[in-house]
Structure 1
Amino acid sequence: MRDSDLDSIIRVAAKGDGVTADGRHFPLTAPGDWIRPDGSVAFGVHHAVPPCSHFPACGGCQLQHLDEESYVDFVTARFTGALAGQGITPGAVLPPHISPPMTRRRASLRAARAGRKITIGFAEEGSHKLIDLQMCAVLDPRLFGLVAPLRDLLGLILPDKRAAHVRMSLIDQGVDLMLEGVKVSGLAADEGLGDFAREHRLARLTIDEGDGPQTRWEPEPATISFGGAAVGFPPFSFLQATPDGEAALVGAVRDALPETGAIADLFCGLGTFALALGEKRPVYAAEGARDVILSLKLGAGRAQRRLAADHRDLFRRPLTPEELNRFAAIVLDPPRAGAKEQVLQIAASAVPLVAYVSCNPASFARDAAHLVATGYVLESVKPVGQFRWTTHVELVGIFRR
């Protein structure tokens, strides 16, 4: 290897820095970039022009300087690298799915007031300083379109030198908006909330002044639909970040399932998988959040689905092997911490197929090691990049006995 080869960026690390062959890290570099002797960077063929004027200050994105090829490689390597660290090689790495720009349907922004100035946006990377969004390359335009008018509304309900959270989701009826940390006082503020909701045709407007959410506007019940079944949507509940990303995850699970037999959807949330996959088969769905599982139960009942919804803390009370063995397949979609307690029970079961949906390479690789050690084979992984230009990635891993 030539000495000069050591100054070339060869890959992108988990937190987004470029890495040279001798292990040095350089922020905002892409594979093929070169580090000059004075420390400056010569851009290579994979270094892209960022599409957003707020990059790299805005903490909403970390990787807009990568071209599409490098970003796809990064999404894939996040999981294959974590698996390699556990000594696991998947049978197949399927082509990644990457969500297009401006398709994010769920966002949590921060807002702050200083005098008459209202700032709304993401915080700078590693800082509490807010970037006042004037554009956004990732948010669905229906969400970003509310940012400017929200500055006027918050002028009525956000006290000076105070911060608030702006939480937005796109649901069946439109934009579900929740404002946390505000103070609604007086007729002008009340009227302003109503006028804003009507003018922007919100699906729902919820206010939290510090003592819990209160719905101020909801012309019809707020719902989100999965597999043609509408489920009541508690304010700012979890949704997959993009509709196409959700479809890619569901499709990867569906392709692996046997044609018949009951399935269990563990950590089921509002029913992303349970309802999409359970149109023609019985489904057991378990979730620890009471309001969420109640919404799923009611929605499945209205849609006349064969679905048993169970309010169950799977960390403290995972399904046992005897309970698991009733199912032809298990679908797992745990939070970032993974599902170690439940996976240990699955590892001791005879379930023939496990479809594991993960948003954390480290916890997925740890749980995969438990399954592989007891006779499961990691047949395939399907990487999904819903959070375009960030270091956050998802995947579906298919395990078979």
Structure 2
Amino acid sequence: MNELIVRIAARGDGVTATGRHVPFVVPGDAVLDDGALAFGPHHQAPPCRHFPECGGCQLQHADDEAYIGYLSSRIELALAQHGLETEIRPPHLSPPRSRRRATLKALKLGRGAVVGFNAEKSHRIVDMQECHILRPELFALVAPVRGLFTQLLKPKQVAEAQLTLIDGGADVLLRNVSAADLPALQALTDFAGTYGLARLSIDSGNGPETMYEPVPATVSLSGAQVTFPHGAFLQATADGQETLVECVRECAAGSKAIADLFAGLGTFALATGAAYAAEAARDSAAALKRAAPTMQVDHRDLYRRPLDSSELSGFGAVVLDPPRAGAEQQVDQLAASAVPRIAYVSCNPATFARDARRLADGGYRLEWVKPVGQFRWSTHVELAACFAR
């Protein structure tokens, strides 16, 4: 009997009503009796020649309606596993070619080099000839970076290029690369000048070393110019960041004092006028302090030393934006606090749902969740949520 695909699982496979997993299908497709596939109205032709070999995307065969449904269902299922449900708002989906940061792998082979993302479930590098997720300014650097690695790397040497668009252009950090002689130094400076980089740095294993930075590297956040440390975190797309900021502002609106925990460079602290911010990365905390000298910025590891309920007592709202592991230790303290509102930004529905259960058990109500698809066509789901007592 034919089986209809009813949803997309966490890792991108289609799932039938009987629980059968089938790769590269979407809801509305069908598995026929003979094992052949019949594509439905939401199955599209993948736009990129590298799909599905390249690991940068897993769902290019899903049209926007199917992909948006996937974003919502991931969150609904994660919450349901912890006995929770709430309003799931219409997802925000970043458009193609909007990703402003990426880390590309490189390998010297023969007289050339391959540069791109790893193949799906493999360490093999897919040599990038086109890309439908990167901003055009970043994709334009792929071929020049390939040429630079061809000059700098030894045979079979691996390296990586971390590319980020900031105020002055592209910030490029090359890892496992050294400038051991004058030709290498010249190649690096020529590359940076020719392509108008905001900054070029190398890391040969002892930390990043700036090779070219005509003006201080900064990123603008809510009108403030913030120093951009090497490898600092930045939301993947500008429109995704704007959506998350709007959600956080809505949740925290009217609060007398706001604390931003896991603050990074201050994406949400600066947007909300937070009174307090805590961040574990020393360089990011220092950059935020310089950008907002009147804000109390605490260099603090919230996994080892979360704010306790007494420290939280003076805040009308708390913003949380933890790494993928979630914020279990800090959430336990929030659950025991009297903070009226919590805006939670997450890049992992599973750990978010776990933390949401703890907050609910502590007396919070999960008012709504907004899915955000910054990593278009991938299985990576982000969200903003609002809790209230």
TM-score clears 0.5:
yes
1:25 has 2:21 as partner: yes
1:132-151 matched pairs, under 5 angstroms: 132-151=127-146
Q: 2:10 is matched with which residue?
A: 14
Distance 1:161 1:184 in 2: 18
Q: Is the 8 A contact 1:159 1:182 kept in 2?
A: no
CA contact (8 A) 2:318 2:343 kept: yes
| Residue 110 (structure 1) aligns with | 105
Map of 1:182 onto structure 2: 177
2:201 maps to a residue whose letter is: T
Query: Does 2:70 match 1:74?
Result: yes
| Structure 2: distance between partners of 1:72 and 1:277 | 28
The runs of at least 4 aligned residues of structure 1 exceeding 3 Å deviation read none
| SS of alignment partner, residue 185 of structure 1 | coil
* CA-to-aligned-CA distance 1:45-99 (integer Å, 9 cap, x gap): 1101111110000000000000110000001111111001101011x21111000
C-alpha RMSD of the superposition? 1.0
Alignment-derived partner of residue 296 in structure 2: 308
Q: CA deviation at 1:183?
A: 2.9
Which amino acid letter does the alignment assign opposite residue 246 of structure 2? G
1:234-284 residue CA offsets vs partner (Å, 9 max, x unmatched): 112111000000000000111122324110000000101001111xxx520
Q: Which residue of 2 aligns with 1:38?
A: 34
Q: Is the 8 A contact 2:12 2:23 kept in 1?
A: yes
Q: Please report the TM-score for the alignment, with normalisation by the length of structure 1.
A: 0.95
Matching of residue 96 in structure 1 with residue 84 in structure 2: no
Q: What SS does structure 1 have at the residue aligned with 2:244?
A: helix
Question: Is 1:263 aligned to residue 258 of structure 2?
Answer: yes
- Equivalents in 2 of 1:185, 1:259: separation in Å? 56
Alignment check: 8 A CA contact 1:157 1:185 kept: no
Instruction: Could you tell me which runs of 5 or more consecutive residues in structure 1 were left unpaired when the two chains were aligned.
Output: none
TM-score (norm 2): 0.98
Query: Is this contact kept in 2: 1:159–1:183, CA < 8 A?
Result: no
Report SS of the residue matched to 2:113. strand
1:154 aligns with 2:149: yes
Q: What is the CA–CA distance in structure 2 between the aligned matches of 1:374 and 1:188, rounded to whole Å?
A: 62
The percentage of counterpart residues that share the same residue type is 56
Secondary structure of the residue aligned to 1:8 is strand
Range that drifts further, 16-25 or 151-160: 151-160
Give the 3-state SS of the residue equivalent to 1:291 in structure 2: helix
What secondary structure sits across from 2:65 in the alignment? helix
Counterpart Cα distance in 1 of 2:267 and 2:81: 30
Q: Distance in 1 between matches of 2:29 and 2:154?
A: 47
Gap change, CA 1:185 and 1:254, over 3 Å in 2:
same
**Residues 156 and 188, structure 1, Cα contact 8 Å, conserved in 2:** no
Q: Which residue of 1 aligns with 2:244?
A: 249
Q: Structure 1's 260 and 350: CA in aligned 2 closer, same or farther, altered over 3 A? A: closer
Of 172, 182, 191, the match for 1:196: 191
Partner SS for 1:371: helix
- Is 32-41 or 106-115 further displaced after alignment? 32-41
| Deviates most, 253-262 or 242-251 | 253-262
C-alpha distance after superposition, 1:177-232 (max 9, x if no partner): 00001232322211111111001000000011122211000000001111111111
Instruction: Give the conservation status (yes or no) of the 8 Å contact 2:42–2:65.
Output: yes
Q: Establish whether residue 288 from structure 1 lines up as the match of residue 284 from structure 2.
A: no
Equivalent residue pairs, number: 389
Q: Which stretches in structure 2 are left out of the alignment for 5+ residues?
A: none
1:326 aligns with: 314
